[in-house]
Amino acid sequence: MRIYVPRDAAAKALGADAVAAAVSAEAARRGLQVDLIRNGSRGMVWLEPLVEVVTDLGRIAFGPMEPGDVARLFDAPDSHPKALGLTEELPWMVRQTRLTFARVGVIDPLSLKEYELHHGLKGLKRALSMTPEDVVKEVTDSGLRGRGGAGFPTGIKWKTVHDAPGPQKYIVCNADEGDSATFADRMLMEGDPFCLIEGMAIAGIAVGATRGYLYTRSEYPDAIEVMESAIQVARAEGLLGQNVLGSGYAFDMEVRMGAGAYVCGEETSLLNSLEGKRGTVRAKPPLPALQGFLGRPTVVNNVISLASVPIIMDRGAAFYRNFGIGRSHGTMPLQIAGNVRHGGLFETAFGLTLGEIVEDIGGGTRTGRPVKAVQIGGPLGAYFPRELFDTPFGYEEFTAAGGLIGHAGLTVFDDSADMLKLARFAMEFCAIESCGKCTPCRIGAVRGMETLDRIAAGDAAAMPVLASLCDTMKAGSLCALGGFTPYPVMSAVTHFPDDFALKKEAAE
């Protein structure tokens, strides 16, 4: 008998370890040999801990499971009250296009053998048979853009590093994942670590880097544990080291842990932190691609950008490019969170409308009240009202609507949300997380909180002050922390004027 219980941190937070222990105890009590696999999450977080039992028909899902539900798995799985049907046939799974997350939740994350059985290492093997220039071209032609937020074309970044002279170059994977409502990086690292290792090795070969760093945060102990174990396995099996898969190429990597400052997800602060310095932003130029880690040419890419490379190299640029809309090619792992019925990770080609994502896939709010606003792209992303629900999910489309897709985290709010309070929270977040380097970010966010307090107290004269403060922050901040905080603030003012006007009336 083979049973899967996720080791994913979200599943564990919801009790997966206790369920796994109950499975082992029940098997021992019955004298049964059970193959218990701790897999990644399938992404249906509202059903976690989601347990799967292997049958002749396929894997049957049960959830959300509690230890007390386990005994019946062994007695009468077919009539189990928490049986959901074949996992692969659940609507959440059927509607997805899982390219980057194809193996997450499916395989044992630390089995390199299973990884290979599920198309792993094919991309790397192909890359090893090509010239570095052709690998860079393949990634460029795929249309892959950075999934960390800015959407910069990955192939162009790689070409800059490839063309830069230097005795030593680096690949830095940005796994800081500080945006609210984002968990795709964590899920990928916990559920399919070899995919990220493979992507980093391909990047190294493409640009001529022999060393990689995975920078993540102390709040991700499970991801760190899985990645470190996977790196050990990869070294032992010749996937990392002086002679990658016997090719003569050298590439090795290690995990570095930051202390969870939001600004350390910004690539230049990250590089400072990685160098053991205080995490403050650096002025650009020079670009990290030319003078990055220790002043050497460095690729800084997000986890999902790098983890999307193996399938691009395996199936080819055209295969990947054909998914999506406009200049948004391929797929994006949407992370649906907040006040929503079906929260979790849903990978799909770009192009679904915001309304389809929130209402059809997310199932509307968990409270059953109407959706009022959706914040997309983390704490620096704009609030979208229902009137913008026909916006297709794509980089340019969201920019045109006054927002950004960022790392594709969506936080849903129902009609009880107070947008003035949320605008104040955006300013407060910026004030707390600012690295302090730029005055408009460091001081502006504090003045922004005060100004919003004045508005809440009914001071109408504070409204234009808020607008000009936001303009100053946008124009005068080196990085997007101060530069983008005005977007949630001003989108709240623009789309939900009543929430600002009502405060005034109440004060009068």
Ligand X SMILES: Cc1cc2nc3c(=O)[nH]c(=O)nc-3n(C[C@H](O)[C@H](O)[C@H](O)COP(=O)(O)O)c2cc1C
Of 146 and 381, which CB lies nearer to ligand X in the complex structure?
146
265, 324, 344, 486: residue in contact with ligand X (rule CB under 6 A): 265
Does 300 interact with ligand X (rule: CB under 6 A)?
A: yes
Binding of ligand X by 212 (CB under 6 A): no
Q: Among residues 120, 143, 148, 364, which is the contact residue for ligand X, using CB under 6 A?
A: 148
> Does position 146 bind ligand X by CB under 6 A?
yes
Q: Is the peptide bond before 440 cis (omega within 30 degrees of 0)?
A: no
Q: How far is the CB of 271 from ligand X (least distance, A)?
A: 10
Rounded alpha-carbon distances, angstroms, from residue 390 to 350, 385, 404, 408: 14, 10, 15, 17
What's the Cα-to-Cα distance from 152 to each of 148, 252, 299, 406, rounded to whole Å?
Answer: 9, 25, 12, 11
The CB-of-311 to ligand X minimum distance in angstroms stands at 16
**Under 8 Å between Cβ of 10 and 183:** yes
Q: Which of 302, 451, 485, 491 binds ligand X (CB under 6 A)?
A: 302
Task: Return the residue of 2, 152, 259, 457 that touches ligand X, per CB under 6 A.
Answer: 152
Q: Taking CB under 6 A as the rule, does residue 60 contact ligand X?
A: no
Should residue 333 be labelled a site residue for ligand X when binding is judged by CB under 6 A?
no
Residue 500's SS3 state is helix
Of 46-54, 148-156, 416-424, 461-469, the segment contacting ligand X by CB under 6 A is 148-156
Is 76 within 8 Å of 65 (Cβ atoms)? no
Is residue 267 a contact point for ligand X (CB under 6 A)? yes
Candidate ranges 88-96, 226-234, 457-465, 478-486; the one touching ligand X (CB under 6 A)? 478-486
Measured from the Cβ of residue 2, the count of other Cβ atoms closer than 10 Å reads: 12
Looking at 96-104, 134-142, 248-256, 479-487, which segment touches ligand X (CB under 6 A)?
479-487
**Tokens (6 digits) for 36:** 């218990």
Task: Specify the 3-state DSSP secondary structure of 266.
Answer: coil
Q: Does 479 bind ligand X (CB under 6 A)?
A: yes
Q: For 401, how many CA atoms within 13 A lie in the half-sphere containing its CB?
A: 26
The pairing of strands 328-329 and 324-325 is antiparallel
- Looking at beta carbons only, is 19 or 223 nearer to ligand X? 223
Binding of ligand X by 87 (CB under 6 A): no
Q: Does 263 bind ligand X (CB under 6 A)?
A: yes
> What is the chain's Cα-based Rg?
23
Toward ligand X, which CB reaches closer, 153 or 355?
153
Q: Which stretch binds ligand X (CB under 6 A): 109-117, 173-181, 342-350, 445-453?
A: 173-181
480 contacts ligand X (rule: CB under 6 A): yes
* Tokens matching residue 464: 């234009």
Q: Is 298 helix (H, G, I), strand (E, B) or coil?
A: strand
Structure tokens at 269: 């602060």
Q: Which of 41, 180, 301, 411 binds ligand X (CB under 6 A)?
A: 301
Helices (H), 275-373: 303-315, 317-321, 354-355
CB 320 within 8 A of CB 224: no
- By the rule CB under 6 A, 377 interacts with ligand X: no
431 interacts with ligand X by CB under 6 A: no
**Are 377 and 405 a contacting pair, CB within 8 Å?**
yes
CB of 43 or CB of 146, closer to ligand X? 146
* Per CB under 6 A, 481 contacts ligand X: yes
Burial class (CB in 10 A: 0-12, 13-18, 19+), 33: exposed
Nearer to ligand X, 170 or 262 (CB): 262
Is residue 499 close enough to count as binding ligand X by CB under 6 A? no
Q: Which three-class secondary structure string do you get for 139-182?
A: HHHHCCECCCCCCCEHHHHHHHHHHCCCCCCEEEEEECCCCCCC
**Per rule CB under 6 A, is residue 176 in the interface with ligand X?**
yes
- CB of 265 vs ligand X, minimal distance in Å: 2
Q: Which residues of this chain interact with ligand X, rule CB under 6 A?
A: 146-150, 152, 174, 176-178, 262-263, 265-267, 300-302, 305, 479-481
